[in-house]
Amino acid sequence: MTPERSDRIKEVLSKRQANIALVLENVHDHHNIAAVMRTCDAVGIQDIYVLNSLIPKHDYFGFQSSRSANRWVTIHQFDNAVECFLELRKKYDLIYVTHLGESSISVYDINFTQNIALVFGNEINGVSEEAIRLSDGNFIIPQVGMIQSLNISVACAVTIYEAYRQKNIAGHYKENHIPLPNEQELKESWSTKEKAAIRKIAYKNFKKL
């Protein structure tokens, strides 16, 4: 691995955000999960919780379409909502779900500089009643069209880029960021994965000769 690539890994890790995570509840399409992974990597979100309480556990996330984003984010898988939320409570002060209800607030009214986890439901039914009950509140993305819904990967992107905007203004991406608890471990893991990818490419090129 080149020194430039090593420096790139160090720079990216320095901007990872320890106080925000995404939860995907019973999302059927692994390509949607892959798209979310890619967007999370883009804004420095390291931890993604995949909660499958109604569908089988995912063993594939559309890695090719995610441009290998799976290499750079951490996936936590759960099959029980209570257990998942208990784990979230250890790290995050607030948990919000995307849900249209009487008490729902706009995504633009959320303070994303707090320790927060965001829950997105599946493509058809949204978040479960159990997730709503276990959360601290609901939020929506304002819309004025006839179809009052967005694809889950789009909804995630809109939401976390609002989070990025607020956190960037607050200075969360500067050098005095809150370090990830496992930052050194991630650095070593990323370096190992990068070296393995380089060897794989070199082997493929060798076979073509």
pLDDT digits (tens, 9 = 90+) for 23-73: 999 998 888 899 999 999 999 999 999 999 876 666 655 544 445 677 889
Residue 201 reports pLDDT greater than 70: no
What's the number of domains the chain is made of? 2
Q: Are residues 143 and 85 in the same domain?
A: yes
Question: 33 Cβ partners below 8 Å, 6+ apart?
Answer: 24, 27, 50, 58, 61, 62
Question: In this structure, which long-range contacts are made by residues 87-93, counting pairs with CB atoms below 8 Å and at least 24 apart in sequence?
Answer: 87/49, 88/21, 88/23, 88/49, 88/117, 91/21, 91/115, 91/117, 92/19, 92/20, 92/21, 92/116, 92/117
Please tell me whether residues 101 and 6 are part of one structural domain.
no
Q: Are residues 113 and 58 in the same domain?
A: yes
Q: Are residues 78 and 125 both part of a single domain?
A: yes
Going across the sheet that includes 94-98, the strands are: 74-78, 47-51, 20-25, 116-120, 94-98, 137-140, 105-106
Give the model confidence (pLDDT) of 144-179 as tens digits: 888 877 899 999 999 999 999 999 999 999 865 666
Segments forming the whole domain that contains residue 158: 17-179
Query: Which residues lie closer than 8 Å to 10 by C-beta, 6 or more apart?
Result: 187
* 59 & 7 share domain: no
Q: How confident is the model at residue 86 (pLDDT cuts 50, 70, 90)?
A: very high
Residues 95 and 66 in one domain: yes
Q: What is the pLDDT of residue 65?
A: 45
pLDDT band of residue 118 (cuts 50, 70, 90) is very high
**Total Cβ atoms within 10 A of residue 165:** 13
